[in-house]
Amino acid sequence: MNYTSPFWLPGGHLQTIWAALYARRGHGPRPQFRRERWDTPDGDFIDVDWLQDAPGQTLLVLFHGLEGSSESQYAQAFAGFARQQGLAYAVPHFRGCSGELNRAPRAYHSGDWQEIDWILRQLRSRHPGPIVALGISLGGNALLRWAAELGDAAASVVSAVASVCSPLDLAAGGHAIGRGFNRQVYTRMFLRSMKPKALAKWHQHPGLFDREALLRTRDLYEFDNLFTAPLHGFKSTDDYWARASAKPHLHRIRIPALALNARNDPFVPAGSLPRPGEVGQWVTLWQPAQGGHVGFPAGRWPGHVCSMPEAVGTWLLQAAGLKEQAHG
């Protein structure tokens, strides 16, 4: 991806924050989603938002990031790409992220590849056309973790995958977001929604974790140690970050995969990014100097966030051999 940031948006923080809050999300009308609720095997549910779906179309699936949804700026921008290319488009919500508390004594996490597997297989059974999938930040790490776990078998489910600004080394990303400006701005932003959800989960399942200790948490390391890790079978935050990270497993991927990371991403240190020799022949690395965290704003004031979805979406279709079909 040949990305150059607008001169009036220098630096990773501005490119991140402006893209999320102020840049235009698309060039056409706001997408109107249709929601489906799927019951899960463990008695819970997930909500899937559809832009459009026809059996013969290629289906683009987007897995959102931490506390994201179909309302996130990147989900809206990819909706515009899907509409332009004539693709079906689906945004599955991780548990608790669709606006309603889920039922089970669990939530979601960065290595939730089993959930990804169940969702993609449900989509495969319902949609006879080709499928390509991408994940944003947390969702991208989980998606690449899935592709690595399945190896050759992933090709029977999807044709290609991509991750965008994913912390593929979760420890490096987790420590980075817990320091300095990141801690004051981004950590507080995430905890503002994550802690109330966790407390609602405690009321739903009293005694699930140490409520008073969670109220005192001030960063994601502490939160993951008390909530995310134990609820999902990990011994601690360190165990969770080590076992859930996709980076050590990228060489096991056997379908076309793209990992896009800006080198000025405030959440993902450039030194933690995978190098070509670490990923194997199936994985393509895009590591532009600029872009921020899921930012990549472009154009004249106030800018837009359509360039990244166009580049990533086009790569997915070409890697899957579907580019001509999408236009036709």
Find tokens 């977001």 and name the residue. Answer: 177
Among residues 57, 302, 97, the alpha carbon closest in space to that of 197 is found at: 97
- Burial (0-12, 13-18, 19+ Cβ within 10 Å), 291: buried
Find tokens 């109330």 and name the residue. Answer: 196
Tell me which of 47, 293, 304, 307 is the catalytic residue: 293
Q: Are 245 and 149 in contact (CB under 8 A)?
A: no
Positive or negative: CA dihedral 107, 246, 82, 90 = negative
Catalytic: 64? no
Catalytic: 39? no
Catalytic: 224? no
Q: Are 190 and 293 in contact (CB under 8 A)?
A: no
Among residues 139, 136, 98, the alpha carbon closest in space to that of 115 is found at: 139
For residue 196, how many other CB atoms are within 10 A of its CB?
Answer: 10
- Cα–Cα distance, 82 to 326 (Å, whole number): 9
Q: Are 79 and 64 in contact (CB under 8 A)?
A: no
Phi and psi for 18 in degrees, rounded to 5? -65, -45
Q: Are 3 and 260 in contact (CB under 8 A)?
A: no
Tell me which of 72, 110, 137, 163 is the catalytic residue: 137
Find all residues with CB under 8 Å of 302, minimum gap 6, and list them.
22, 23, 24
Tell me which of 265, 272, 304, 307 is the catalytic residue: 265
Catalytically active residues are 137, 265, 293
